[in-house]
């Protein structure tokens, strides 16, 4: 079977195409071997409008993959379930924990309002697993806490407020004729930690593309330079840093890798 993949950005922080809309969030629509999928659903404020304008019928979605439990990735799921109640939802079960961000001295709720019982076809992605033929979910990424923990993010567990360990931060990697394509949500577990885990699973197979959020808006220049050195070891064809990656990091990637980096936005399509 030919492993052809087409990815469209349905929701993202920026837009350059007329009649489409942007929001702080992320959603990738992708077609793979005759089926249609979503990786994240953004906040849900632009998902359905953009899909309609681009001729994408969200009632045909087979599976929704959720990268983690923040509302800018899960916000469109409730409405999607209203029009497609049988859709399979694939995510780590901790996406349902109450999640917050520290804003000055207050905690702002940024989690999902959904509970697991509202989803008819929920499949937990706690460990690395083949979610469908050729599509793999990383499951929980093992990583040393000092390499990724951010005290700005809080989760409530059993009545206690703790720094979010982001056990629910998962990514996808997909087999194509061009090589492995990686989809990142926000990379709260750390870009290098995630990709290293994928590399351990795929062996010496080529990583053709890396698309998604890398959470580098507050990263130091040293951290960005270190990540550029890391990417130099990967013979990728496409790097599309979007959403929470931040402009400075994205531009630095573009300077380092030229045409191999796409400063992507809503409506952009990629084929592999």
Domain limits of the chain? 5-271
CATH H-level superfamily of 5-271: Ribonuclease Z/Hydroxyacylglutathione hydrolase-like (3.60.15.10)
pLDDT at 105: 83
DSSP helix/strand/coil, 30: strand
What is the mean pLDDT, run by run of 10 residues, along the chain of 272 residues? 86 97 98 96 98 97 98 98 96 97 93 95 95 96 93 92 97 97 98 97 97 95 97 97 97 98 98 96
pLDDT of residue 2: 57
Q: Which tokens in the block code for residue 120?
A: 């008819």
Question: Distance of alpha carbon 262 from its chain centroid, rounded?
Answer: 17
Q: Cα separation of 12 and 50, whole Å?
A: 11
Separation between Cα atoms, residue 148 and residue 77, nearest integer Å? 27
This prediction has a pTM of 0.97
Confidence (pLDDT) at 1: 46
- Report the distance separating Cα 61 and Cα 272, nearest Å: 20
């Amino acid at each position: 079977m030919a492993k052809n993949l087409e990815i469209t950005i349905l929701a993202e922080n920026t837009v350059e195409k007329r009649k489409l809309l942007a929001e702080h969030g992320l959603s990738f629509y992708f077609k793979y071997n005759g089926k249609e999928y979503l990786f994240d659903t953004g906040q849900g404020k632009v998902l359905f409008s953009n899909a309609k304008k681009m001729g994408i019928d969200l009632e045909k979605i087979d599976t929704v993959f959720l990268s983690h439990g923040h509302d800018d990735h899960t916000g469109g799921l409730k409405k999607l379930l209203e029009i497609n109640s049988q859709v399979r939802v694939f995510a780590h079960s901790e996406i349902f924990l109450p999640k917050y961000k520290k804003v000055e001295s207050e905690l702002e709720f940024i989690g999902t309002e959904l509970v697991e019982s509202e989803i008819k076809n929920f499949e937990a992605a706690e460990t690395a697993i083949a979610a469908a033929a050729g599509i793999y979910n990383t499951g929980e990424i093992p990583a040393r806490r000092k390499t990724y923990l951010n005290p700005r993010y809080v989760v409530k567990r059993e009545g206690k407020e703790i720094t979010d360990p982001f056990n629910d931060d998962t990514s996808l990697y997909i087999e194509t004729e061009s090589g492995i394509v990686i989809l990142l949500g926000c990379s709260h577990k750390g870009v290098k930690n995630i990709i290293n885990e994928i590399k351990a699973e795929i062996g010496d197979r080529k990583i053709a593309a890396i698309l998604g959020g890398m959470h580098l808006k507050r990263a130091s220049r040293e951290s960005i330079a270190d990540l550029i050195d890391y990417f130099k070891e990967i013979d990728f064809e496409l790097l599309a840093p979007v959403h929470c990656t931040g402009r400075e990091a994205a531009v630095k990637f573009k300077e380092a890798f030229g045409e191999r980096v796409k400063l992507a936005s809503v409506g952009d399509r990629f084929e592999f």
